[in-house]
Amino acid sequence: MIRLNFVFALLVFICLQSHQAIAAWSPPSPFGATVRATSDPSCAAVATNEVVCAVRDASQQLAVNQYVSGAWTGWTVLDGVITSGPSCTPRAAGEVICAARNDAGKLSYTVFNGTSWSPLAAAGGLLYSAPSCARLTATKIMCATRNAKGGISAATLTGATWGSFIAAPTTNTFTPPGCATDNDGKAICSTLNNTGTVIVNRFNGSLWDIYVSNTSTAVNATTCSGIGIPGHVVCLVTNSASNGFANRFSGGSWLATGWSGWGNLSGLLSSRISCASQAAGQLVCTAVALIDNSAYSNTYNGAAWSGWALLGNLAIGNTSCAKLNATKVLCAFVGTDNQLTSRVGP
């Protein structure tokens, strides 16, 4: 009875917000019907009012699309087989790198230069999960993955050259890493250990710090997001009660005390939470709800969260959001027909 009352209260709360939420977001914008997704999308900002997204298609190839002038330009499918979902990140202004695991278990990647995509190329390594990539500087990105020992390793792309994979201090991890730039030359990655506890580490492109336990127990892969303030990152999880939680690192020395502690976002979620920062210190996040398989949004103004509000898209898997401009983000969803659509808001 208590759980039923809680669900009813949540539904009432959502309904009260739904009209405002839908009005604040653009109508759905379809990517085009020529690609059916077999992975979650990954999106990244190219420039003001330009975003690219990538997905693995039904032929196990990397399909990419560009949003510009308020619409999607159409799918480009790159030759080569991939066996994981992609991870995309901006590097310099006007440039995005997307990477995935290939059919040899190695890292493959493509570079978007603002106009065209490079052919999919192998970058080496041996990946035991999908990669998670993040910007370090205007000339360097990193991509992290689980390694053969169950830990995390990362390689960097500087210019056109990949470095060797560098392992973090040995520990057992049980989910792929979720990494984000700290906007200060480093990336922070979160994952789960063998007890389901969230652990985090920081990478500067050549060295890892030590793992820090964040003590929250999660049931799905974790995500992190930069918030546009040097050194700061927010990491997010969904727990066994399907509630979302967020924890903010405020920069400086790499210590457990540098984290804010887990704040309960509630929500009854069935997916990971994806966020993008449209302005310094602020986040716009989306996730899929357990109760109706619809997408919901939640915004963070630097001090408090708005609460989950209905977007209305029926979605499967996980969403992906990217900065569009100083006031808006774009979030992409895979629908129940395995085709993609996006919304811009709030």
Q: What is the pLDDT of residues 247-271, one digit of tens each?
A: 999 999 999 999 999 999 988 899 9
Nearest to 132 by CA among 76, 86, 93: 86
Model confidence pLDDT, tens digit, residues 292-326? 999 999 999 999 999 999 998 789 999 999 999 99
Q: Are 211 and 194 in contact (CB under 8 A)?
A: no
pLDDT, averaged across the chain: 90
Judge residue 68's burial from the number of C-beta atoms within 10 Å of its C-beta, 0-12 exposed, 13-18 middle, 19 or more buried. middle
How much is the CA Rg of the chain, to the nearest whole Å? 19
Q: How far are the Cα atoms of 125, 203, 213, 235, 257 from residue 260, in angstroms, in the given order?
A: 35, 20, 13, 11, 8
Query: In the prediction, which pLDDT does 123 show?
Result: 92
For residue 320, how far is the Cα from the chain centroid?
6
- Look-up of token digits 């709360």: 13
Q: DSSP assignment, residue 57?
A: B
**CA distances from residue 73 to 29, 42, 50, 329 in whole angstroms, order as listed:** 11, 17, 11, 18
346 cis-preceded (ω within 30 degrees of 0): yes
Separation of alpha carbons 20 and 339, rounded Å: 26
Of 248, 244, 240, 207, nearest in space to 224 by CA: 248
Note whether 225 and 275 are within 8 A (CB).
yes
In this structure, is the dihedral angle defined by the CA atoms of residues 335, 233, 175 and 85, taken in order, positive or negative?
positive
Q: Name every residue whose Cβ is closer than 8 Å to that of residue 257 and which is 6 or more positions away in sequence.
A: none
Distance CA 156, CA 152 (A): 14
Beta strands 71-72 and 62-68 are antiparallel
- For tokens 């997905």, name the residue: 55
Q: Residue 285 in contact with residue 274, Cβ under 8 Å?
A: yes
Q: How confident is the model over 231-252, as pLDDT tens digits?
A: 999 999 998 889 999 999 999 9
The amino acid that residue 319 corresponds to is: T
In the numeric block, the tokens 């895979």 are attached to: 334
- How far apart, in Å, do the first and last CA atoms of the chain sit? 35
Helix, strand or coil for residue 143? Answer: strand
**Strand duo 42-47 + 29-30: pairing:** unpaired
The three-class DSSP label of residue 261 is coil
Per-residue pLDDT reduced to its tens digit, 111-129: 999 999 999 999 989 999 9
Q: By C-alpha distance, which of 66, 45, 135, 55 is closest to 100?
A: 55
Contact call for residues 129 and 177 (beta carbons, < 8 A): yes
Q: Are 180 and 233 in contact (CB under 8 A)?
A: yes
Reported pTM: 0.91
CA distance 42 to 58: 16
For residue 344, is pLDDT > 50? yes
Task: Give the number of other Cβ atoms within 10 Å of residue 177's Cβ.
Answer: 34
pLDDT reported for residue 52: 98
Q: Is 170 exposed, middle or buried (0-12, 13-18, 19+ CB in 10 A)?
A: exposed
Residue 172 pLDDT class (50, 70, 90 cuts): confident
Cis omega (within 30 of 0) on the bond before 177? no
- 23 — pLDDT class (breaks 50, 70, 90): low
Specify whether the CB–CB gap between 272 and 236 falls below 8 A. yes
